[in-house]
């Protein structure tokens, strides 16, 4: 990767409550990005931390009957414990109560005040305590906070203001001239939409009479600074701004600020204007990801539907949890977390596909190759099937760097799992359990060696996502525990013949959810009663019984992307979301539909069809369509219905 360095940050998390799945997702995503860049040999710095000032913290401490510092110390420990359990490899953890941070914040405030960028004035407005923000009356929705929908308080008081309005035209130009500055593109457009209205100056202080828990304004001891001015400065205070010029120059500007979409304005409007006023270069990219939903509803503490990461980790394992977070959410889009979706993806991708492949290959090596990597007389890649399978693995390896640049890690993971499925199909065709019975063992050795080499690549590509399990897989193949080198993943034949392999315990034990008799009765459809036979003049051809029909699983799926397959006029390649699962389907509908007009449609898919390869592209399902003469129409649903719904 042609980059001198990679500096990635998470937001610093507010410590008014325990960490939840939203915190875990952002931090795991940042960790995976950092790990991938380290594998690519790029100098990397990964920062996370906690935001510890503000009214919510003060009120939470008062409610608990303890001092604010004692409260935040307790809450910070919960985040640090979770990051350790999630195997987060941050290089620094900053707290806004640390002197190295408070000193930089006060230096910024004094510098801006001396330059006339901060002034004092009286403010009258509506204040939301949970969001710690003022809103004008016209911004309220039904008299409530436009961000969280909760009650607001009317406040009139003297405060200090940052002259943010003077940077509006500059900020619009910067965003328009630097399309990669805010990502994804629709978040960029959202910020530009916000900037179509006049940008007001920002209140950046709170009187101590109302809020004592904060960083004191250096030019007026009766005030503390606004928590968002305080918090945003962490991105530079942590890397030596105004204290260590060499370290700051090494890492700034930041390569990627990872944030949730709910803090888009503070990061894409407030933060750039602060930096501009201070003469500090702009971030390279601010990337806003979506929300985790509980079914179709946003998770929130007030709704009581927040997933506890610790409970999920204890139940299913760290690596399985990390895998689901990365595979199930397309960065930038919302994703749904349900136990059913988690178990289905785990069992499908990890237990059935990857775990089963590893088990079969290693068992056959232990049984038929003296427990070692088999020796070969020739080059396996002389065979067409072997060459094709290796080419798929190399395509996944080649896609890593583009996926990092485009922030499409879910697609990269899907490509790797597609390689695993292709390897399973290769095993089914080659039948090494039958090859083992032949006198000539070379075909068996070619089969097992080829799949073992593919597993070496898979383990390397998934290592940043599942470091513990992929280290175990590498060890099973006789490889060292060190993280792999990406260039090694692009070479065939690095497994040395005679290297002992280890038959591991189940890499991903299958998860079984036991249903109660009542649930079983509800969930399993009852066949309709037999109808009386009606005499017919002609016999009915092709009749199937209910048991045969019940084997077909139909699901709704939303088309996310569509493109024509080269060198054919009939086929389209579609990317669909079926619940939380992303699939690729090749459909013969190009004569009837333009690709761009399909995006966003909800269609019906045969979900349990065995994958097939059409024109070198794997198709993981089939669309349902009706035809009459030259007319074709896709089968869709009547009205709004979420993807992944069962069609009965």
Q: Which domains does the chain have, with CATH numbers?
A: 338-490 (1.10.730.10), 552-634 (2.40.50.140)
Mean of the pLDDT values across residues 109-129? 92
Residue scoring higher pLDDT (629 or 32)? 32
Most confident stretch, 262-271, 535-544, 563-572 = 262-271
pLDDT bucket at 518, cuts 50 / 70 / 90: very low
> Whose structure tokens read 């945003």?
232
Q: Convert the pLDDT of each residue in 599-609 to its tens digit.
A: 778 889 998 88
Strand partners, 134: 127
pLDDT band at 528 (very low <50, low <70, confident <90, very high): very low
The CA distance from 83 to 77, in Å, is 10
Q: How confident is the model at residue 138 (pLDDT cuts 50, 70, 90)?
A: confident
Instruction: Evaluate whether 574 touches 598 at the Cβ level (below 8 Å).
Output: yes
Residue 64: strand, helix, or coil: helix
Read off the tokens for 469.
Answer: 């399990």
Rg (CA), the chain: 29
What pLDDT, in 10s, does the model give residues 354-395? 999 999 999 999 999 999 999 999 899 999 999 999 999 999
What residues contact residue 268 under an 8 Å CB cut-off, 6+ apart? Answer: 175, 182, 187, 191, 286, 288
pLDDT at residue 629 in the model: 56
Confidence of residue 56 (pLDDT cuts 50, 70, 90): confident
**Per-range mean pLDDT, top range of 134-148, 476-490, 524-538, 600-614:** 476-490
Average pLDDT over residues 509-518: 61
Q: Among candidates 430, 460, 455, which has minimal Cα distance to 445?
A: 430
Residues 6+ apart with CB under 8 A from 161: 118, 119, 120, 121, 123, 201, 202, 203, 204
Banded pLDDT at 557 (limits 50, 70, 90)? confident
Query: Rounded CA gap, 55 and 214, in Å?
Result: 9
Q: Is 206 helix (H, G, I), strand (E, B) or coil?
A: strand
Q: Which residue has the higher pLDDT, 292 or 161?
A: 161
Contact 419, 454 (CB under 8 A): yes
Rounded-to-integer distance, Cα 17 and Cα 130, Å = 12
**pLDDT, mean of residues 232-252:** 98
Distance CA 564, CA 450 (A): 32
| Kind plus residue range of the DSSP H or E element containing 426 | helix 409-430
Cis ω before 608 (30° cut-off from 0)? no
Average pLDDT over residues 333-352: 88
What per-residue confidence (pLDDT) applies to 117? 98
Using 50, 70 and 90 to split pLDDT, how confident is the model at 179? very high
Give the residue from 70, 3, 63 showing the smallest Cα distance to 33: 3
Predicted confidence band of residue 529 (pLDDT cuts 50, 70, 90): very low
Distances, alpha carbon 405 to alpha carbons 191, 408, 414, 466, in Å: 21, 8, 17, 21
Distance CA 155, CA 134 (A): 9
Lowest mean pLDDT among 55-59, 407-411, 511-515, 630-634: 511-515
Answer whether 598's CB lies under 8 Å from 585's CB: no
Place of tokens 């597609």: 418
pLDDT for 283-332, tens place per residue?
999 999 988 876 555 555 544 555 666 677 887 889 999 999 999 998 88
Residue 421, phi then psi, degrees to nearest 5: -65, -40
Question: Crossing angle of helices 68-85/55-64, nearest 10°?
Answer: 100
How many residues are recorded in the chain? 648
By C-alpha distance, which of 562, 558, 598, 601 is closest to 582?
558
Entry pTM: 0.77
What does the alpha-carbon distance between residue 239 and residue 254 come to, in Å, rounded to a whole number?
Answer: 10
How many CA atoms lie within 13 Å of 155's alpha carbon, on the beta-carbon side? 21
Q: At what angle do helices 467-476 and 318-328 cross, to 10 degrees?
A: 110
Bridge partners, 575 (sequence order): 561, 584
Position 429 confidence tier, pLDDT thresholds 50, 70, 90: very high
Taking the C-alpha atoms of residue 481 and residue 460, their distance in angstroms, rounded to an integer, is: 11
Q: Please name the residue that has the structure tokens 């939409």.
A: 193
Neighbours of 42 (CB within 10 A): 17
Query: Could you tell me which residues come within 8 angstroms of residue 298 by beta carbon, excluding any fewer than 6 positions away?
Result: 291
Q: Pairing mode, if any, of strands 572-578 and 581-587?
A: antiparallel
> Would you say 590 and 571 are in contact if contact means Cβ atoms under 8 Å apart?
yes
């Amino acid at each position: 990767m042609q980059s001198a360095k990679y500096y990635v940050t998470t937001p610093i998390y507010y410590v008014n409550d325990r960490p939840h799945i939203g915190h875990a997702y952002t931090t795991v995503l940042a960790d995976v990005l950092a790990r991938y860049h380290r594998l690519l040999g790029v100098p990397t710095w990964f920062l996370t931390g906690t935001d510890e000032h503000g009214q919510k913290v003060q009120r939470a401490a008062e409610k608990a009957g303890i001092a604010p510092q004692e409260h935040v110390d307790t809450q910070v420990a919960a985040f640090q414990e979770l990051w350790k359990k999630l195997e987060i490899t941050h290089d620094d953890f900053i707290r806004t109560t640390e002197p190295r941070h408070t000193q930089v914040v006060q230096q910024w405030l004094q510098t801006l005040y001396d330059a006339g960028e901060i002034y004092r004035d009286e403010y009258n407005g509506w204040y939301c305590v949970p969001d710690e923000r003022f809103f004008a009356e016209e911004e309220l929705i039904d008299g409530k906070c436009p961000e969280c929908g909760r009650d607001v308080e009317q406040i009139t008081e003297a405060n200090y203001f940052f002259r943010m309005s003077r940077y509006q035209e500059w900020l619009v130009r910067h965003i328009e001239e630097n399309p990669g500055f805010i990502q994804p593109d629709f978040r960029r457009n959202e910020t530009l939409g916000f900037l179509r209205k006049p940008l007001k100056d920002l209140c950046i202080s709170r009187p101590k009479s109302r809020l004592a828990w904060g960083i004191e304004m250096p030019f007026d001891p009766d005030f503390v600074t606004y928590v968002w001015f305080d918090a945003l400065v962490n991105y530079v205070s942590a890397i030596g701004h105004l204290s260590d010029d060499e370290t700051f120059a090494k890492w700034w500007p930041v390569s990627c600020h990872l944030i949730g979409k709910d803090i888009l304005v503070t990061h894409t409007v407030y933060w750039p204007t602060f930096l501009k006023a201070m003469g500090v270069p702009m971030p390279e990219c601010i990337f806003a990801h979506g929300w985790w939903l509980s079914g179709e509803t946003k998770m929130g503490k007030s709704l009581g539907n927040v997933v506890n990461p610790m409970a999920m980790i204890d139940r299913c394992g760290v690596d399985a949890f990390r895998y689901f977070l990365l595979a199930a959410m397309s960065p930038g889009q919302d994703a749904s977390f349900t136990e059913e979706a988690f178990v289905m993806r785990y069992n499908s991708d990890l237990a059935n596909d990857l775990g089963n492949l590893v088990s079969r290959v290693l068992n056959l090596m232990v049984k038929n190759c003296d427990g070692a990597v088999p020796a070969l007389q020739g080059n396996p890649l002389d065979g067409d099937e072997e060459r094709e399978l290796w080419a798929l693995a190399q395509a996944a390896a080649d896609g890593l760097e583009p996926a990092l640049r485009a922030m499409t890690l879910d697609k990269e993971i899907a490509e790797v799992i597609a390689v695993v499925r292709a390897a399973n199909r290769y095993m089914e065709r080659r039948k090494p359990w039958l090859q083992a019975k032949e006198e000539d063992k070379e075909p068996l050795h070619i089969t097992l060696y080829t799949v073992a080499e593919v597993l070496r690549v898979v383990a390397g590509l998934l290592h940043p996502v599942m470091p513990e399990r992929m280290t175990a897989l590498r060890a099973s193949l006789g490889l060292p525990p060190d993280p792999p080198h990406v260039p090694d993943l692009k070479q065939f034949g690095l497994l040395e013949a005679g290297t002992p392999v280890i038959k591991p315990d189940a890499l991903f034990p299958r998860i079984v959810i036991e249903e109660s008799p009542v649930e079983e009765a509800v969930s399993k459809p009852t066949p309709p009663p037999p109808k009386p036979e009606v005499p017919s003049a002609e016999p009915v051809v092709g009749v199937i019984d209910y048991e045969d029909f019940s084997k077909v699983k139909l699901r709704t799926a939303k088309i996310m992307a569509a493109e024509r397959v080269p060198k054919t006029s009939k086929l389209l390649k579609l990317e669909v979301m079926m619940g939380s699962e992303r699939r690729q389907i090749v459909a013969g509908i190009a004569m009837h539909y333009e690709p761009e007009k399909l995006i966003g449609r909800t269609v019906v898919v045969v979900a349990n069809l065995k994958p097939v390869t059409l024109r070198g592209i794997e198709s993981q399902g089939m669309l349902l369509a009706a035809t009459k003469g030259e007319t074709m129409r896709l089968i869709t649903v009547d009205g709004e219905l979420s993807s992944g719904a069962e069609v009965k």
